[in-house]
Amino acid sequence: MAHPKIVFVGAGSVEFTQGLLADLFAFPELKSARVALHDIDPERLDTAEAAARHIAAERGADARITAHADRRASLAGADFVINTVQIGMAEATRTDFRVPARYGIRQTIGDTLGIGGVFRALRTFPFLKELGEDIAELCPDAWLLNYTNPMAMNVQYLAQATGLTRVVGLCHSVYWTMRDLAELLHVPYGAITYRAAGVNHQAWVLRFEHDGADLYPRLDELLAREPQLRRRARMDMYRRLGHYPTETSEHSCEYVPWYLRHDSEVERLRLPVGAYLDMTDENVASYHRTRDALATGAPLAVEGTMEYAPQVIHSIVTGTPRTLYGNVPNHGLIDNLPAHGVVEVPCLVDASGVQATRAGSLPPQLAALNRTYLSTNDLVVRAALHDEPRHIRHAAMTDPATAATLTVRDIWRLCDDMVRAHGDLLQPSLRALLADPADG
């Protein structure tokens, strides 16, 4: 694979595309890759192409870069497909927050679980089905590297709706969690040994050592000395559950029923309700800064991001072995989680591809939380696979944060309002409005 073809689907997520390209072109073996950029927004596609050419020049790469408004043209002959699509863009994200807020639902990020995660998945599934069909026809041996959230729902849907097997979901949460923990304890990251497993954004640090010694007691000592550290949701979860969660407090707090429902907990743990709306606005502003800099010839920083996709590609192309974390269908990887659910586990990567490793059983309290998460995911996927709009409501009823806040009657009404708000972004069979059974 001398000149691998790497396709960016959703390349208009320019800042993310820039970081991935900077990482790719940092590898000498990938400097001559063929890079195909696809986006349906012409201006964003033009900006992505200009950014890609700038980064290639800065990195000394002689990559062949092409831009395509036609997705199928971009995919022909691909070896790797990187998916970063956000269906509905910023306006759909604002809807995911604005409509539930009218019912008293608080969300911080809203892209993985909760009402926001459910409807982000439902409006992404039709696209994923088309993408999977195109890959099966045009580049059946390609690896699909998915970054689009909700990660676990999307990978489960891809596996069950398209039949593709070379699919792995990539997320940096485990890596950056361990970097942050090492820095917190003043231990070099390269000197620690760790192992994590669970589900995306709710995996758990099962092993955390330095020179063979468990580092959890040192974390306990630090928490005992630093009361402000205890005012973080993930630290609160760690102290109660015994294992550290692999995502930020902003994410972690909305996958459980204990925090966002209560004013006192929002204050105690300093939970940033609506945080993702600010991130969304900053992402739009960052895109405009990049677009304007490229148009005027102003300096544009070229910075690597240590993301997994470039490492996966490099390992498969060169045979260099690596271990990283991936999201894949369970099928026995974690014994006490559902077989069809998507789990996050260490994966070995080399010339033969991505090979997930078995994690055994999770501690029961951790598996209990992960099973609830996967149950909600499964109902969302089933809604789409079986054209069953009632399963959207069932998913919302099982979601921990939603069920902690609303009555079942309001859950059904909220789902109707979300269906109305997202309209044509959902597959036709799921656009039905359903009368509350209590009214019958």
243 and 332 in a single domain? The answer is: yes
Q: Is residue 263 assigned to a domain? A: yes
Tens place of pLDDT per residue across the chain (440 aa): 678 999 999 998 877 888 999 999 999 999 999 999 999 999 999 999 999 999 999 999 999 999 999 999 999 999 999 999 999 988 999 999 999 999 999 999 999 999 999 999 999 999 999 999 999 999 999 999 999 999 999 999 999 999 899 999 999 999 999 999 999 999 999 999 999 999 999 999 999 999 999 999 999 999 999 999 999 999 999 999 999 999 999 999 999 999 999 999 999 999 999 888 888 888 888 878 888 887 887 777 777 788 999 999 999 999 999 999 999 999 999 999 999 999 999 999 999 999 999 999 999 999 999 999 999 999 999 999 999 999 999 999 999 999 999 999 999 999 999 999 998 999 999 999 998 888 86
Please return the burial class of 217, using the count of CB atoms within 10 Å of its CB with bins 0-12, 13-18 and 19+.
exposed
pTM: 0.96
What is the distance between the terminal CA atoms of the chain, rounded to a whole angstrom? 62
Q: How many domains does the chain have?
A: 2
- Name the E strands within 177-334: 192-199, 202-210, 213-214, 244-245, 322-329
Q: Which of these three, 151, 170, 189, is where a domain ends? A: 170
φ, ψ for residue 194, nearest 5 deg? -150, 160
Q: Do 10 and 122 fall into the same domain? A: yes
3-state secondary structure of 163: coil
Q: Are 83 and 115 within one domain? A: yes
Q: Does 118 share its domain with 264?
A: no
Q: Is residue 282 part of a domain?
A: no
pLDDT at 14: 76
Domain co-membership, 233 together with 381: yes
* Residue 147 lies inside a defined structural domain of this protein: yes
Question: Hey, what amino acid is at 161?
Answer: A
Same domain, 260 and 374: yes
Torsion of CA 39, 45, 48, 50, to 10 degrees: 150
For residues 285 and 278, the answer to whether their CB atoms sit within 8 Å is no
Q: Residues with catalytic annotation? A: 172
* Cα 389 off chain centre by: 24
Closest C-alpha to 12, from 74, 80, 100, 101: 74
Residue 396 lies in a domain: yes
Output the domain CATH number for residue 417.
3.90.1820.10
Q: What is the DSSP letter of 26?
A: T
**84 shares a domain with 38:** yes
Residue 360 pairs in a beta bridge with: 334
Whether residues 49 and 129 share a domain: the answer is yes
Same domain, 351 and 232: yes
State which of 153, 170, 187 marks the end of a domain.
170
In a domain, residue 283? The reply is no
The one-character DSSP state at 386 is: T
Same domain, 319 and 228: yes
Does 94 fall in a domain?
yes
Q: Identify residue 212 by its one-letter amino acid code.
A: G
CA neighbor of 401 nearest in space, from 112, 41, 54, 102: 112
Whether 438 is in a domain gets the answer no
Phi/psi of residue 426, each to 5°? -90, 155
**Does 200 reside within a domain?**
yes
Domain span including residue 200: 90-110+171-273+307-429
